[in-house]
Amino acid sequence: MKRYAIWPLAALILLALPFVFDSGTSLTKMSLMCIMAVFALSYNMLLGQTGMLSFGHAVYYGLAGFMSIHALQILAGPSASMPLIVVPIVGAVTGLLFALIFGWVSTKRAGTAFAMISLGLGELVAASSLIMRSFFGGEEGVSADRSKLAAWLGLDFGAQIQVYYLIAAWTFFAVLAMFAITQTPFGRMANAVRENPERAEFIGYSTQMIRFISFCLSGTFAGIAGALAAINFEIMNALSVSGAQSGAVLLMTYIGGVGHFLGPILGAMLITALQISLSDYTGAWMLYFGLMFILVVMYLPGGLAGLIMAHEPVVRAGHLQHLIPAYLLAAVPALICLSGAVAIVELAHHALVKAATEGPLMTVIGIDFSSKAPIPWLIATGLFVLGLLLSRMAWPRVKDAWSEVHLLMKQS
């Protein structure tokens, strides 16, 4: 019962969030987080559940978004009477249709071959978005006005809070549906295909058909996310089907944790929040995401969800207090190393990008200095190296603390 109690709690949180964060900007951010959570979970149906690495998942998100935008334009006509709440169904059908077409070809292969086919299909659609201007709208994209559709229960969805609740409702049911799929026999067989496809074939299952069904389901939910994006932004452009969008959902899913259902949700929330906040302060924000991805792959393969789940038995046993001192000790050199890395990135970005137009001077906490002078570089590099050295000294304390906790858990 406890595992299912999270769903009413999640619904209450989605309902209560606008009462805490009631500004228009906050509502837009929360709506985007919900959309990206659905998108990342749909991608995890491929990567995490079935073991298929795709580099073109934005195809189904973007094409569904464009089809939904055109549906908004049609439904806004004088004779139309369909409300906005049905538009995500258009996205789901579009995502499913294109997943049926592309999936039948791409899922005949697995592993690297599948990844390369998905990359080729993604680039094909991305190139078409700049050629087929009548559908994609060229560089400007296609826009629509959601408030012109027929009202539903007196709601015209002109206000952002109404849009948020619409997106939150679709997000809740989409996430619930994807979780339900993982609990079915098909979900278990998808995991079997991921872990040992030869054995799955040996006991009589068609691994190609299981990959194909997973692909179609993934495309369907990605289509829902694309439709919700069209509703939220009222515009879709070529970026929606680009390789950057496919890379972003891979980033969210892996950083959150592909081995856990909640991992992509955590990754989507974190990356979306950082993307919105960091872009206001630095032009090198994409570089930080790349560095974060590399660090997660190297040192945290389970992602954020894996890190959290590793502490669950420790918390349940009541031994978390034995880890906190070691974590605090390791946090100090980590912060020193992080500050040095940030300084190096910002110095490099200013010297290589901004200096040509704004000059070499940059300002940090009210202090002016040249990004091409040696002293700032020496300080930044010194902080980074010092943090690394101190981290190497502090990390054995963390390992010792975990060994102590494991010993205590065995004795209890």
Judge if 225 and 189 occupy the same domain: yes
**CB-CB contact of 96 with 36 (8 Å):** no
Residue 376 lies in a domain: yes
Judge if 289 and 404 occupy the same domain: no
**CB-CB contact of 90 with 227 (8 Å):** yes
Judge if 98 and 140 occupy the same domain: yes
Collect all residues with Cβ–Cβ distance below 8 Å to 278 and sequence separation of at least 6.
Answer: 285, 288
Judge if 328 and 287 occupy the same domain: no
CA 367 to mean position of chain CA atoms: 36
We report the CATH number of the domain holding residue 51 as 1.10.3470
> Where in the sequence is the domain holding 35, given as residue range(s)?
6-296
Provide the residue-wise pLDDT of the chain in tens; the chain has 412 residues. Answer: 556 778 889 999 999 999 988 888 889 999 999 999 999 999 999 999 999 999 999 999 999 999 999 998 888 766 667 788 889 999 999 999 999 999 999 999 888 999 999 999 999 999 998 889 889 988 888 888 887 776 777 677 778 899 999 999 999 999 999 999 999 999 999 999 998 888 888 888 889 999 999 999 999 999 999 999 999 998 999 999 999 999 999 999 999 998 889 999 999 999 999 888 887 788 788 888 888 888 888 888 888 999 999 888 888 888 889 899 999 999 999 999 999 999 998 888 888 888 777 777 877 777 777 888 889 899 999 999 999 999 999 999 999 999 998 888 887 7
Judge if 270 and 336 occupy the same domain: no
pLDDT for position 78: 65
Judge if 172 and 256 occupy the same domain: yes
Which regions of 155-276 does DSSP assign to beta strands (E)? 235-236
Residue 304 lies in a domain: no
State which of 264, 296, 328 marks the end of a domain. Answer: 296
pLDDT for position 269: 94
Task: Quote the number of domains for the chain.
Answer: 2
Q: pLDDT tens digits, residue range 219-252?
A: 999 999 999 999 999 899 999 999 999 999 999 9
Q: In terms of DSSP H, where are the helices of 21-57?
A: 24-44
Judge if 272 and 396 occupy the same domain: no
pLDDT for position 226: 96
Joined tokens for residue 365: 């906490």
Judge if 190 and 283 occupy the same domain: yes
pLDDT for position 205: 86
Judge if 252 and 332 occupy the same domain: no
pLDDT for position 248: 92
Residue 309 lies in a domain: no
Rounded to whole angstroms, the Cα distance separating 319 from 403 reads 12
Residue 88 lies in a domain: yes
SS3 249: helix
CA distances 98 to 122, 218, 371, 386, 396, Å, are 12, 11, 49, 52, 51
Judge if 278 and 344 occupy the same domain: no
pLDDT for position 2: 58
pLDDT for position 42: 97
Collect all residues with Cβ–Cβ distance below 8 Å to 121 and sequence separation of at least 6.
Answer: 56, 59, 102, 106
Judge if 233 and 378 occupy the same domain: no
Residue 398 lies in a domain: yes
Rounded to whole angstroms, the Cα distance separating 266 from 259 reads 12
Judge if 273 and 141 occupy the same domain: yes
